[in-house]
Amino acid sequence: MTGLSTLITQRRVLVCCGAGGVGKTTVAAGLGVAAAVAGRRAVVVTIDPARRLADAIGIPHLGNQPAEVFRPEDSGGVLAAMMLDTKATFDGVVSRFAASPEQAEAIIANPFYGNVSATLSGTQDYMAVEKLLDLHDSGLWDLIVVDTPPTRDALAFLEAPRLLTRLLDNPVYQMVTAPGRGALRLVGGAARTVLRRLSRVVGAAVVDDAVAFFRGFEGMEQGFRNRAARALALLGGPGASFVLVASARADALDEASWFADRAAAAGFAIDAVVVNRVSPPTRLSRAEADELAERLSGAELAGPARALEELAAAGAGERTRISALAGLGGGGPVTEVPQLASDVSDLAGLQAVAGHLAARP
Ligand SMILES: Nc1ncnc2c1ncn2[C@@H]1O[C@H](COP(=O)(O)OP(=O)(O)O)[C@@H](O)[C@H]1O
Ligand SMILES: [Mg+2]
């Protein structure tokens, strides 16, 4: 496994994944800061709807286009940040592939599209991948850091490039665009099941709109398929790495290994593991703290001695779990970020995080 500091200076794409609340957004922003400090032009993209990226950087708002947030003195690097707007990005994709402005307008004005572009599960992830390709193709960035939503959605992100092609392979689309087939009465059982499922999400009046929507895509499939293939090649290629962010808490280990397994099954390898919010080491070993607590039991300092022993025991548990986490990233070193004294809510805090991320082992 390549050290994280090498990934920060050499990769084109870093995808931060892991369970919610472990510090993914903080680490993603920290990686961006570290890259900027190392002289790279970096952009952090968040698809986390919780606005945590703006909070972490300490700015009020982030838009759908990269905005500069940090320019370290003398490094030549820069950090920009953006928060994905799924609908705006989807509209851009439709416009890109439409044969004419009229075709794009017809799709964008379709009520079914309006619902799908905002609510279909996986759309957000798909658009994040779209945005990633877009930023990559712009040639403006040396490094793109992607912050993903919590674990339960993470597979959707990994599979996002396949989403639209799956939609195009779906029986409804196949039926309504098949040459010689006409109205919905000709739609077969499988397609009807799909439509019924969709109508539960977006309402019963959807059927006509849906048919019109799928018809509206005629001639655009190849563009979508090509782009999905390119996205998969970019994410699965040597320029991209997945960074698994985990905490050393007892319940975090299972989630982290679950994610690593699923990522591997989807064909993406974890190249680095970051353990966040690691407890500061105690001065006494667990055995020493135990002995001290024994000796002071009943004395005035029994309480603090007990607390120290508990801290040392918790620290020892963390060390065991951190060694287990190392296995998830191919057995190489794990990068540790300590629990900081306060929440990370400005550039100073992020620079502290970045210092740990870019430290050489
Ligand atoms: N190393 C750290 N020390 C102190 N607070 C942290 C640290 N890492 C993250 N936090 C705080 O934990 C909270 C969750 O972090 P966040 O990055 O939003 O997690 P996630 O994106 O995984 O949901 C935030 O309030 C953040 O400031
Ligand atoms: Mg987050």
What CATH number is given to the structural domain containing 336? 3.40.50.300
pTM of the model: 0.84
CA dist., res. 183 & res. 305, Å (int): 79
Going from the Cα of 146 to the center of ligand 2, the distance in angstroms, rounded, reads 11
Atom of ligand 1 nearest to the CA of 18: 22
pLDDT at 204 over 50: yes
Within a domain: 217: no
Number of the ligand closest to the Cα of 29: 1
Least trusted range by pLDDT, from 120-124, 291-295, 324-328: 120-124
- Average pLDDT value over all residues in the chain: 82
Name the residue of 277, 343, 356 to mutate for ligand 1: max ligand atoms within 8 A of Cβ: 343
> What pairing do the DSSP bridges indicate for beta strands 335-338 and 67-70?
unpaired
Coil, strand or helix at 359: coil
Name the residue of 25, 344, 346 to mutate for ligand 1: max ligand atoms within 8 A of Cβ: 344
Tell which wins on pLDDT, 254 or 202: 254
Tell which wins on pLDDT, 45 or 232: 45
Q: Which two tokens mark 304?
A: 């603090």
Atom of ligand 1 nearest to the CA of 353: 1
Within a domain: 51: yes
Going from the Cα of 174 to the center of ligand 2, the distance in angstroms, rounded, reads 37
Within a domain: 329: yes
Number of domains forming the structure of the chain: 1
87, 88, 68, 4: which is closest to 38 by C-alpha? Answer: 4
Choose the most confident range, by mean pLDDT, from 187-196, 199-208, 294-303. 294-303
> In which domain, by residue range, is 106 found?
4-163+224-283+318-357
Going from the Cα of 259 to the center of ligand 1, the distance in angstroms, rounded, reads 19
* pLDDT value for 335: 94
Q: How many CB atoms lie within 10 A of CB 264?
A: 13
Tell which wins on pLDDT, 22 or 2: 22
Tell which wins on pLDDT, 251 or 211: 251
Using the structure block, give the residue that is written with the tokens 């548990």: 317
Going from the Cα of 160 to the center of ligand 1, the distance in angstroms, rounded, reads 26
Within a domain: 23: yes
Atom of ligand 1 nearest to the CA of 344: 27
pLDDT at 315 over 80: yes
Predicted confidence band of residue 115 (pLDDT cuts 50, 70, 90): confident
Helix, strand, coil % (nearest 5) of the chain?
55, 15, 30
Nearest CA to ligand 1 atom 5: 343
Within a domain: 123: yes
Within a domain: 292: no
Predicted confidence band of residue 181 (pLDDT cuts 50, 70, 90): very low
198, 217, 216, 48: which is closest to 120 by C-alpha? Answer: 198
